[in-house]
Amino acid sequence: MSQIIYSKEVIDHFKNPHNQGVIKNPTAVGEAGNPLCGDMMKLYLKIDKKKIGGKMIDYVKDIKFETLGCAAAIATSSMITDLVKGQPLQVAAKVTKANIAESLGGLPPIKLHCSVLAIEALHDAIKKLNK
């Protein structure tokens, strides 16, 4: 058994996750499952256009998640919504698992794979947008 000690940020997001729930008429829904541990995630995106620097750009107007998993899975889900919400889609697509882990004050090594779940769900949603 290895030690699992969570940062204060992980516990805060686990206790009170941000943007948890569903979007009724989403632009796209991404899904990801982690065959390693059994965790599952669904990410709802609402994409809209806004003017940035004189150009109309696609941006993440709203984002919500549903996750079945451990504290790290829920906290990383919550954190990715924070990192992505309000951002231009192109910026959102570049968020990495390291960004998530850093923003959460680090993750226990055994839990790093949980941040992959969130990234995969986001990429899945973006892929569906482009179809």
Partner 1 sequence: MKRIYFDHSATTPIDPEVLRVMLAYLKNDFGNASSLHSFGQAARAGVEAAREEVAKFLSCDPKEIIFTSGATESNNLAILGFVRRARALDPKRKIHVITSAIEHPAVFEVFRELKKEEVEVTYLPVTKSGLVRVGDVKKTIRPETVLVSIMYVNNEIGTIQPIREIGELIKKINASRGKQEKIHFHTDAVQAANFCDCRVDFLGVDMLSLSAHKIYGPKGTGILFLREGTPIYPIIFGGHQERGIRSGTENVAGIVGLGKAVELLNQKAKVKSQNLKIKKLRDKLMREILKKIPDAIFSGDPEKRIPGNASFCFKNVEGESILLMLDMEGIAVSTGSACSSGSLEPSHVLSAMGISPIVSHGSLRVTLGKNNTEEEMRRLLKVFPGIVERLRKMSPIKN
- The residues annotated as belonging to the active site are 37, 114
Q: Where are the alpha helices (DSSP H) in the chain?
A: 8-15, 71-84, 89-92, 97-103, 112-129
Q: Is 12 in the site for partner 1 (CB under 8 A)?
A: no
Q: Are 89 and 58 in contact (CB under 8 A)?
A: yes
Q: Is 39 in the site for partner 1 (CB under 8 A)?
A: yes
d(CA 67, CA 70): 9
Q: Is 4 in the site for partner 1 (CB under 8 A)?
A: yes
Q: Are 83 and 63 in contact (CB under 8 A)?
A: no
Q: Is 69 in the site for partner 1 (CB under 8 A)?
A: yes
Kindly give the pairing relationship between strand 28-33 and strand 40-52.
Answer: antiparallel
Nearest distance, CB of residue 79 and partner 1, angstroms: 15
Q: Is 124 in the site for partner 1 (CB under 8 A)?
A: no
Q: Is 2 in the site for partner 1 (CB under 8 A)?
A: yes
* 35-49: burial string, b at 16+ Cβ within 10 Å, e else: eeeebebbbbbbbee
Residue range at the interface with partner 1 (CB under 8 A); choices 54-62, 71-79, 86-94, 96-104: 71-79
Q: Which is nearer to partner 1, 58 or 113 (CB)?
A: 113
Binding stretches for partner 1 (CB under 8 A): 1-2, 4, 11, 14-15, 17, 20, 31, 36-42, 66-74, 110, 113
